[in-house]
Chain A
Amino acid sequence: MRISDATVTSTLTTNLSRTFQKMAQLQKELITGSRINDASDDPSGASRSLNLRGQVRNIEQYQRNIQEGQGYLNITDSTLGEVVDTLTAAQGTAIQGANDTLTDRDRKILANTIDNLLEHVLHLSSTQFRGRYIFGGTHTLFRPYVETRDADGKIATIENGLTEGRPLSDATTAVGSLLGLGSPPSGTVTIGDQTVTLDLATDSLTTIKAQIDAAAPTGVTTTIASAPSGSGTTYRLVISGTTTLSDSNDVLKTLGVETVDTSGTILREVGDGINVQINAAGKDIFEGQFNPFSALLDLRDSLNTNDLNGIRDSITELEEARNKASNTRGVLGARTSRVELTNSLLERFTVNLKESLSNTEDTDFAQAVVDLQRHQNVFQSALTTGMSLIQPSLIDFLR
């Protein structure tokens, strides 16, 4: 077959460049450490690697959630432990107080001890984690339980607290129109011992405050708290000094003022769509028939009044209240260990994921180096043959 000079050179150069291209590709894999530098290097691998990386990011988020949730669970657990210990101590005091041989004065001293324990439990019920009340259900920004005190500064009653109003942009415009409500609620609201009639269609924050002040319920103070926000100022209605609120037509609730409902649950996502409740509802511990507050208050009052039967009843009451706290603590403990188990599973899972990610993406260094060497050898021998192939022709031998 006839072979032209051009064919020889073009065959040589295309083969050289092809080998060179392969070397460049291998070098890229070696330098980046990644087998997939463009999606076309391995389309299904690229798609798989994106999915794997998404999963790794999810799991890392779950681990963050768990870490945060564990802090919440731990502080709730230790606080409940403290509540149980306090109630146990109170029981001891009650048993002591039930002793017939004690004098009135002795019982008064014991009543003082109980007062301190009561203050302590109230303090525990207001425990905060990162600025959030942990027993307030989802009303995390307001004190869940608020006390009223008598003239001596002793705790008289403890009830659920009130929330503060939502921020409004204006204090002198009718609330209904500020909130853009079609039919704003109106009706009677009982605050403390006084009843006022409010109508959000006409009343502004200022007139509402004036109406409550005019009715002057005992011990109640109303304020309009203002705070700078963005371009302007926001105003909120704050009612304090009372624990009783009756708002059948949701007038104050529309303003954001309501009794704290401590039953709300707070969830953490610890796996794809798997949520774990991390809070203990205050309602399950501090409210209901037997609760630490009423048990302690009853005990104190019985001690003060030398009511031996009352003191004996309080021992049972305290027992029930302590059981409630212990039970809640048990449920919480089960959740804690579940979260811990999930966490260690996630850790193992991350290792596996990262391994398959590495298998999908990473260069097999040994293989790549061997391949590179092989191509280099081919390249060099092609160069050598090329030199001897192109040079000689008949012209060299014509003299």
Chain B
Amino acid sequence: MSGLLGAIEIGRSALRAQQIGISVAGDNIANVNTPGFSRRQAKLVTSEPAAGLGTGVKVTDVSRTRDQLLDAQVRFQNGLFGRLDTMQKAFATIEGIFSELAGSSANEAGAVFSQSSGVGLSGSLSRFFNAFQDLANNPESGSARAVIREEGQLLARTFLRLDDQLKNAQTDLESEFQRQVDQANALLDEIGTLNARVPSERFGGGGSSAPLEDRRDNLIEELSKLVDISTREQDDGTVTVYQSGRILVDHAAVSSLGRRVEVEGDAAVSRLTLASTGEALTLNGGSLKGIEEVRDTRIPDYLSALDSLASTLVSEVNQKHSAGYGLNGVSGTNFFDAAGTTARTIQVNSAILDNTDLIAASSDGTKGNNRVALQVSDLRLNRLFSGGTKTMEEFYSDLVGEVGSQAKATFSNLESQRVISEQLNNRRENVRGVSVNEEAANLILFQRAYQAAARIVTIVDEMFQSVLEMG
């Protein structure tokens, strides 16, 4: 059968192959800007020779150009990036809560340092203790006492606001955790569905699984930003997804993620589990890990620092204050409600709210005596924290500094992680991405080959003519 018909068959196979080549190049160019698109390559193979002669060309596969090692690295780095990215957002919020710096440069020092300043805790503390100094200047005064009551309430409110906002941030992170677990489950479901279709639609089966695989791999990449996962590609084109050694997706079978709610401090927090068994999963990366870190470690740290500041303030002020005499000669009054010793519950004694004459300035009951007012005010100078090395204000400014440095560390880690991820992405894009130049060259190549193949058919046709004319 290696006659003229064979030759025309060769021409036909070449035409078909080049045409596929043109389609593939066209498809690549069309998707040059499609995110997550891996460029396709038509795999051209010589047809089985017959009677020692070649029979042309055939396309055995239209495959995706990929580097599995780079894919795995990208997924791993995604986990690191996702964790830092989430922490960055959380820290930006937390930092704002502690911020009393904005718009407070020394240029407007007059406004900043005057009594009107100090919405933050540092300012409120100063104002509270300075109000006691003013009482020491006017120990017989009712208005100095009214100011102390206001400043005391402002201080309590500032504690409450900080506590509230930190706990809100914690609650927000908790709902974000729940939302992301749901999102991860939706992704897992779709990955399973796509996995199921891949084997049957592979090129040999008459279709092409490349778009399905692209979509699935994009979803896996999304998932790797949420949870740290590892993957293994099976021979049939499906991908198995693991998290801390447990299989989440195997072919079409999906094992969903679940949550177990635990109570930590005042907050209810979710932990990641395997929904089917309820077994706890260990997070090592991904934005869920970032949420867990800020929600379960950082924020509780800040909250307990505020609580210890509040509790020391309450007990120290009460101890000094209750030893003194009020304007009405009554002694033994607590300035702060002794029952409220946390940032959330600290409040001015309700008896003092009703009657500011109970605010004590005097150490012996005479109205001009200002010893107790001075003693209360001097608490700001006492090194009550960190083993007697820090005053209350220093303890608080250290806390702000700690929040700042943890935020800064997160921000700069995120920046370097971003560079790493970008470089990795670029390396991968260089492998799988479309180069228009390359595809244009391919177009010319296939076009020329198509033209040549057409010539073959024409020439063989002319040969047929010649043969027929022989008759």
Contacts and interface: CB of A to CB of B under 8 A. Distances in A.
A345 B396 CA distance: 28
Nearest to A67: B137
Given A38-B101, A39-B99, A53-B113, A141 B368 contact: yes
A47 B425 contact: no
Given A57-B113, A354-B106, A40 B401 contact: no
Interface stretch (B269-277, B404-412, B463-471): B404-412
Nearest to A29: B105
Interface string A22-62: 00000000001110111111111011111101101110110
A275 to B, nearest CB: 7
A3 interface: yes
A7 B429 contact: yes
Nearest to B98: A39
Nearest to A363: B105
B73 interface: no
A34 B397 contact: no
B contact face: mostly helix, strand, loop, or mixed: helix
Nearest to B118: A57
B91 interface: yes
A247 to B, nearest CB: 15
Interface string A126-139: 00001110001111
Contacts of B434: 4-6
A348 interface: no
Contacts of B381: 272-273
B130 A166 contact: no
A47 B430 contact: no
Contacts of B429: 4, 6-7, 10
A137 B366 contact: yes
Nearest to B137: A68
Contacts of A43: 401-405, 407-408
B368 A4 contact: no
Contacts of B103: 32, 34
Interface stretch (B288-296, B305-313, B436-444): B436-444
B48 interface: no
Given A34-B103, A54-B122, A5 B130 contact: no
B398 interface: yes
Interface string B333-361: 00000000000000000000011010000
Interface string B116-146: 0010001101110010011011111000000
Find the residue from A54, A136, A266, A273 having the highest chain B CB count within 10 A: A54
B378 interface: yes
B369 interface: yes
A264 interface: yes
A1 B364 CA distance: 88
B367 interface: yes
B448 to A, nearest CB: 12
A240 interface: no
Interface residues of A, number: 73
A65 interface: yes
Contacts of B92: 38
A34 B328 CA distance: 48
A100 to B, nearest CB: 49
Contacts of B118: 57
A11 interface: yes
Interface in A342-397: 354, 357-358, 361-363, 393-395
A267 interface: yes
A148 to B, nearest CB: 24
Nearest to B126: A57
Contact of A394 (B133, B393, B422, B441): B441
Contacts of B396: 50
A10 B427 CA distance: 12
Interface string A223-256: 0000001100010000000000000000000001
Nearest to A260: B366
A283 interface: no
A226 B326 CA distance: 19
A269 B440 contact: no
A64 to B, nearest CB: 7
A269 B122 contact: no
Given A269-B377, A273-B378, A275-B374, A4 B435 contact: yes
Contact of A34 (B105, B365, B368, B436): B105
A39 B401 contact: yes
A38 B130 contact: no
Contacts of B426: 7, 10-11
A362 B104 CA distance: 9
A394 B437 contact: yes
A2 B401 contact: no
Given A46-B401, A362-B106, A61 B101 contact: no
Interface of A: 1-7, 10-11, 14, 32-34, 36-44, 46-51, 53-54, 56-58, 60-61, 64-65, 68-69, 130-132, 136-141, 166-167, 229-230, 234, 256, 261, 264, 266-269, 272-273, 275, 354, 357-358, 361-363, 393-395, 398
Given A4-B430, A47-B397, A362-B107, 15 more contacts: A7-B429, A7-B433, A10-B422, A38-B99, A46-B397, A46-B404, A58-B126, A130-B138, A138-B368, A264-B369, A266-B369, A267-B371, A273-B381, A361-B105, A398-B440
27 contacts: A3-B435, A4-B435, A14-B422, A34-B105, A39-B98, A39-B401, A40-B407, A42-B404, A43-B402, A47-B397, A53-B113, A54-B122, A57-B118, A61-B134, A64-B133, A65-B136, A68-B137, A69-B137, A136-B368, A138-B364, A138-B368, A139-B366, A256-B365, A357-B106, A361-B105, A398-B440, A398-B443
